[in-house]
Amino acid sequence: THSPPRPNASSRRRPSNPPSPEHPALKKIPPNKIIAETMARLQGRGIRLVAHGVHCDPKRVWIRLQDETEEGGSGEPCVTWQTEFPRRVPNQSGQVSIVLMRGSLHRIPLKQILYIDVGKKTQALQLTKGVADAVCLSLLTQNGSLDLQANSKLERDSLVSCFSMILDDVHEEDWRALYEASPEPSVANSSTFNPGGGFMR
């Protein structure tokens, strides 16, 4: 692993620059080992987080990176999400156990993610009570946002660093400059993707 240089947010990123874990809102970047472990989890089974919406209850979701070459994929790199819900399953003797199931798979092409918001910047996250700003992040698209709550500040910061590197890989333009120029609250409509495939407002 390397410690890439801090990119200049006021200029276009040169394609020769390596992807950087830096984000304008992060004062301290997590250790490279933690970022690598988080990236491996995103590329593997996924990471279980909580998604928030304006007019819906928080939902447990699994967030995962899907490569364009994966079977059943859309042919382009995506971030996928699936809700998680408990289901009562009886066994042969009639005893009922609770099994955690995953809902339908939804994809957001990485190129559609404009930038990452850090903290409770969107309406959905600002409406949450008892959720610390330090564990929140949002993936902003032109259609809305996927508003997420991590399990700790370290996990949130590591996810922000991972997605910063991912956006450096897929965007030629400087998404950090777009982030820094965005008004408060974020330019995108605050919403979270619903199990039906659209947005929940």
Mean local confidence (pLDDT), 148-164: 97
Q: How far is CA 185 from the centre of its chain?
A: 18
| Average pLDDT value for the chain | 83
Q: Taking 50 as the threshold, does the pLDDT of residue 9 lie above it?
A: no
Give the confidence band of 61 by pLDDT, cuts at 50, 70, 90.
very high
Spell out the residues 6+ positions from residue 88 whose beta carbon is closer than 8 angstroms to its own: 96, 97, 98, 99
Averaged pLDDT for residues 28-55: 95
pLDDT digits (tens, 9 = 90+) for 14-39: 455 789 999 999 999 999 999 999 99
Taking residue 40's Cβ as centre, other Cβ atoms within 10 Å add up to 11
pLDDT tens by residue, 106-151 = 899 999 999 999 999 999 999 998 999 999 999 999 889 999 999 9
162-197 pLDDT, tens digit each? 999 999 999 988 999 999 988 765 544 444 444 333
Q: What is the pLDDT of residue 16?
A: 58
pTM of full prediction above 0.75: yes
- Share of the chain residues as helix, strand and coil, in percent rounded to the nearest 5: 25, 30, 45
DSSP 4-36: PPPP-TTSPPPTTSPP----TT-SSPPPHHHHH
For the cut 60, the answer to whether the pLDDT of residue 199 exceeds it is no
